[in-house]
């Protein structure tokens, strides 16, 4: 109960509760409309807070939408950083990350981003929320691997993780072009095929040349 807490703690708890209510209300409005075209007044009514309270926490609707998207992406980031342990060294580290990439459901959050932020064509792949997710993933995954492999060279780990996570951004672009970034059985097959090409390219190196049939097709030049 808030009333049993010291005054300062009560203020912090109330502030946290208001922020959570605002973000939850925004997520509900987005799910209902499949768009972000709601007003601050609509959001305040849904969250049962004042307009002023909304602006005490966020500078704009865009900032609120960014937090909603970040929450959606955080589950995908968490699943990717929960990589299975491996006793193998060197290539074993790549195998650990590859297994995590294959198990994680990235299609659902990417399709969500596309619905919420609008179908802006290939430019959607470069949306700040997508870039933010890939940057966060790279940092967290590097930290996980360095904790698991304390003997590993930090630069080598960062280069490996950076190559994979940057590759995800490239895949997002091609996958969006090829599928419209929708979550369907066909789009999931396409994502899996492209992901396998990324993992094999990082494993074998670019000197091996293009993967031929594995190269994603795109309706755009």
Mean pLDDT score of the chain, rounded to an integer?
80
pLDDT score of 49? 94
98 compared with 123, residue with greater pLDDT: 98
Beta carbons of 98 and 145 less than 8 angstroms apart: no
Question: Which residues fall within 8 angstroms of residue 135, CB to CB, at 6 or more apart?
Answer: 165
Q: Does the pLDDT value for residue 126 go beyond 60?
A: no
pLDDT score of 215? 46
Q: What is the Rg, in whole angstroms, of the alpha carbon atoms belonging to the chain?
A: 21
Under the banding of pLDDT at 50, 70 and 90, the label for residue 217 is very low
Instruction: For residues 71 and 109, give the distance between their C-alpha atoms in angstroms, rounded to a whole number.
Output: 10
178 compared with 67, residue with greater pLDDT: 178
Query: From the DSSP assignment, how many helices (H) and strands (E) are in the chain?
Result: 9, 0
Beta carbons of 161 and 93 less than 8 angstroms apart: no
In angstroms, the Cα distances linking 170 to 167, 191, 210 are 5, 12, 15
pLDDT score of 6? 66
Question: Which residues fall within 8 angstroms of residue 46, CB to CB, at 6 or more apart?
Answer: 25, 28, 29
Averaged over 1-21, what is the pLDDT?
Answer: 76
Q: In the block, which residue shows the tokens 């909304």?
A: 54
- Residue 111, CA atoms < 13 Å, CB-side half-sphere: 14
pLDDT score of 211? 52
pLDDT score of 5? 54
pLDDT score of 219? 44
Question: How buried is 82 (Cβ within 10 angstroms: 0-12 exposed, 13-18 middle, 19+ buried)?
Answer: exposed
Percent of the chain with pLDDT over 90: 29
Q: Does the pLDDT value for residue 207 go beyond 80?
A: no
Q: Does the pLDDT value for residue 106 go beyond 80?
A: yes
Which helix H or strand E contains 11, and what residues bound it?
helix 7-33
Alpha carbon 3 to chain centroid, angstroms: 38
Q: Which segments of 82-153 does DSSP mark as H helices, in order?
A: 91-103, 107-117, 128-148
pLDDT score of 84? 67
At 141-170, the pLDDT tens digits run 888 888 888 888 999 999 999 999 889 888
Instruction: For residues 167 and 198, give the distance between their C-alpha atoms in angstroms, rounded to a whole number.
Output: 7
Question: Which residues fall within 8 angstroms of residue 141, CB to CB, at 6 or more apart?
Answer: 80, 81, 83, 97, 161, 164, 165
At 14-68, the pLDDT tens digits run 889 999 999 999 999 988 887 788 999 999 999 999 999 999 999 988 888 878 8
Q: Does the pLDDT value for residue 196 go beyond 80?
A: yes
Tally of CB atoms within 10 A around 63: 10
């Amino acid at each position: 109960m808030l009333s049993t807490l010291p005054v300062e703690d009560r203020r912090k708890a109330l502030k946290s509760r208001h922020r959570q209510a605002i973000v939850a209300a925004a997520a509900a409005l987005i799910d209902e409309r499949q768009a972000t075209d709601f007003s601050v007044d609509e959001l305040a009514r849904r969250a049962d807070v004042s307009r002023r309270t909304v602006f005490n926490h966020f500078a704009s609707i865009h900032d609120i939408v960014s937090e909603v998207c970040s929450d959606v992406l955080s589950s995908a980031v968490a699943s990717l950083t929960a990589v299975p342990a491996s006793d193998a060294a060197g290539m074993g580290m790549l195998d650990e990350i590859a297994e995590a990439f294959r198990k994680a459901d990235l299609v659902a959050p990417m399709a969500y981003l596309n619905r919420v932020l609008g179908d802006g064509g290939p430019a959607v792949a470069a949306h700040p929320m997508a870039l933010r997710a890939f940057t966060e993933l790279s940092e967290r995954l590097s930290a996980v691997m360095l904790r698991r492999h304390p003997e590993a060279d930090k630069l080598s780990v960062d280069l490996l993780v950076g190559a994979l996570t940057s590759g995800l951004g490239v895949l997002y672009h091609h996958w969006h072009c090829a599928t419209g970034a929708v979550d369907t059985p066909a789009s999931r097959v396409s994502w899996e095929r492209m992901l396998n090409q990324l993992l094999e390219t990082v494993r074998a190196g670019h000197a091996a040349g293009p993967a031929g049939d594995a190269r994603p097709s795109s309706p755009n030049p």
